[in-house]
A and B are shown apart, each in its own frame.
Chain A
Amino acid sequence: MIILFGSHKGGVGKTTLIANLAVMLQKKTASVAIVRADKNQDLEVWTRFRAEKDVPDIPVMTCYGDISKDIRKLETVTDVVFVDTAGHDSMELRSALTVADIFLTPVKPSSLLEIATLDGLSSIVREAQKKNSSVQGFTLFNRCPTSSFNTDAQDLAEYLKTNPEMLPPLRSCVSDLRPYEKAINQGLGVHEVRAKNASKAKGQLELLFTEIQTKLD
């Protein structure tokens, strides 16, 4: 299974989600690998922090350009390959789209700057679907406020559903919970830390992955 994360804006939470999901699956005894196709150092730093802890390694492979063959090779030896791309259009994003099963773009429902990027990104995914008919693209609401009074996510979901060209929203949402970042700061995932709200964060990731699996059934 190849799960690709991409966006047309940096800082939306791609790397944090990938690292946390990879740790979760590894703890469930699945074999996982991460393809780092972004020049920023985040995953490298996270791996370095991780090496200092008494936790299993998660293989991170750095690739640039047309990365489709590298992803395919990794897929032959792992259950799940996560692909982390830069926060803009790139060869890496497009080549990964030609082999991915699932494409996710995280977006904060209250950020108009992030929402404004969805149109262009959706067009690229729709074009990619003509080359790779099995890739499914979704918008993942990320860093959602925990307050139930906030209706931004509801409003954005309605907007996306009424525009069939846009990537539809997943039902699962990821909240703006401190444990996600706290875990990453230590080279870990939320499934490896003890913190307030950690169990809520774990539950959200498990629901997210279960929903992804149902999309592939």
Chain B
Amino acid sequence: MDLSKIKKHNNSTATTESKSVAEFIVKGDARPNQKQKSTMVGFRFDENTLNGLNKLTTETGKTRITIIRASLLAFESLSDSEKARFLIQVMT
């Protein structure tokens, strides 16, 4: 092993724009952002649906929006025929 070959670093290394270097470095400590942008929307619920929603929030201790999001996930997991059955039930 020839140690005389150990090279000193060349200071003229192409380190371009300090801003882009700083951005690159800071990204190393970034954590995955799991929060998504939300939008304000308004719905009208009939009394029965609203009562059902309020009952579930009381039972679970979760917010109304959490119950709605969970319901959406549950609906998405149904088969097409099951989806149709529930849709018919709420439309009639």
Asked whether A91 lies within 8 Å of B26 as measured between CB atoms, the reply is yes
- Per the bound structure, the CA–CA distance linking A65 and B6 in Å amounts to 28
> Which of A51-59, A94-102, A107-115, A177-185 binds B?
A94-102
> Which of B8-16, B49-57, B61-69, B83-91 binds A?
B8-16
Cβ-based interface call for A61 (8 A): no
| Shortest Cβ gap from B22 to chain A (Å) | 8
Size of A's binding interface in residues, CB under 8 A: 36
Asked whether B24 lies within 8 Å of A98 as measured between CB atoms, the reply is yes
Cβ-based interface call for B28 (8 A): yes
Q: Which of A166-217 contact B (CB under 8 A)?
A: 206, 209-210, 213, 216-217
Given A98-B15, A133-B13: A91 touches B25 (CB 8 Å cut-off): yes
List A contacts of B7 (CB < 8 A).
1, 101, 216
Chain B, Cβ-Cβ closest to A134:
B13
List B contacts of A83 (CB < 8 A).
none
Question: Beyond the given A80-B6, A89-B28, A210-B1, could you list 6 further A-B residue pairs with CB under 8 A, ordered by the A residue number?
Answer: A91-B25, A91-B26, A91-B28, A131-B21, A213-B2, A213-B6
- Pairs A–B under 8 Å by Cβ, sample size 23: A1-B7, A1-B9, A28-B1, A75-B8, A89-B28, A89-B29, A91-B25, A91-B28, A91-B29, A94-B24, A95-B25, A98-B25, A99-B15, A101-B7, A124-B28, A130-B16, A131-B15, A132-B13, A133-B13, A134-B10, A213-B2, A213-B5, A213-B6
